[in-house]
Structure 1
Amino acid sequence: MAATVEFTGTVRRFNEDKPGGLAVVDVPAECVAQLGGRKQRRVSGTLNGAEFAGSTMLVAGGGFCVGVSKAALKSAGAAVGDHVRLVLEP
C-alpha cells in the first residue's frame, strides 16, 4: 500500500475568471511523484481533518492540483482563500 501524502496549501479557483467555478489546492512539486506523477487520478483522504475525495489534475504551465468540491470545503470549514491541510492516499 502506498504511503499517505501530507501537505498544506491555499484553496483557490481553478479558473480565476469564473468566481463560481472549481476550487483547487496546488500540490507541492515534491509531493507529485508520491501521488503517482502528473496524471489525473482519483484520490481520497482528509481536508482539515474532514474526509473527502477528489481528483488530481494538470495545471497549465507545469503545475499540479487537486480539485475540492463545495461540499468538501463546507465539511472542512474552509473557503476559497483559506490555508488548508490535506492528507491524501494515492
Structure 2
Amino acid sequence: MAVAFRGTVRQWRDDKPGGLAVVDVPAEFVAELGGRKQRRISGTLNGAEFTASTMLEAGGGFCVGVSKAALKSAGAAVGDRIEVVLQP
C-alpha cells in the first residue's frame, strides 16, 4: 500500500551545500514502509516517478534520498514543499 504526504526537500548535511537532498518521512508512515531499514523504494514526487533509497537518521529519523534528476523531473528544488507518494 502506498503512503502519501507533503514534505520539504532539504540538504542531507548542512555543511555540504549542493550534496544529497532528502525528504523526511513522517513517523506515522515508517511502519507501513517496512520499518526503519535502508532499502530501495519507488514512488512519485509531485507526480514524477522516481526510485531512491530510504535512510536512517541519528535520533530516530527516517528519510528518502532525492537525486538532482528526480528533483528536476518533479520541478522542485531544495527548500520546496512537495507531494510525495512512496511504495513499500
- Distance of 2:65 and 2:45 partners within structure 1: 11
Q: Greater CA deviation, 53-62 or 65-74?
A: 53-62
- Distance of 2:83 and 2:54 partners within structure 1: 16
Structure 2 counterpart of 1:75: 73
Q: Using the TM superposition, give the Cα deviation of residue 60 of structure 1 relative to its aligned residue in structure 2, in angstroms.
A: 1.1
Q: Using the TM superposition, give the Cα deviation of residue 39 of structure 1 relative to its aligned residue in structure 2, in angstroms.
A: 0.2
For residue 57 of structure 1, what is the amino acid of its counterpart? M
Q: Using the TM superposition, give the Cα deviation of residue 28 of structure 1 relative to its aligned residue in structure 2, in angstroms.
A: 0.1
Secondary structure of the 1:37 match is: coil
Aligned-pair identity (%): 78
Q: 1:48 is matched with which residue: 17, 30, 46?
A: 46
- Distance of 1:41 and 1:8 partners within structure 2: 21
Asked if residue 39 in structure 1 is aligned to residue 6 in structure 2, the reply is: no
Unmatched runs of 5 consecutive residues or more in structure 2: none
Instruction: Describe the superposition over 1:62-86 as per-residue Cα deviations: whole angstroms up to 9, x where unpaired.
Output: 1000000000000000000000111
Unmatched runs of 5 consecutive residues or more in structure 1: none
| Structure 1: 4+ residue segments shifted above 6 A | none
- Distance of 2:11 and 2:64 partners within structure 1: 11
Q: 1:16 is matched with which residue: 1, 14, 17?
A: 14
**RMSD between superposed Cα atoms in Å:** 0.5
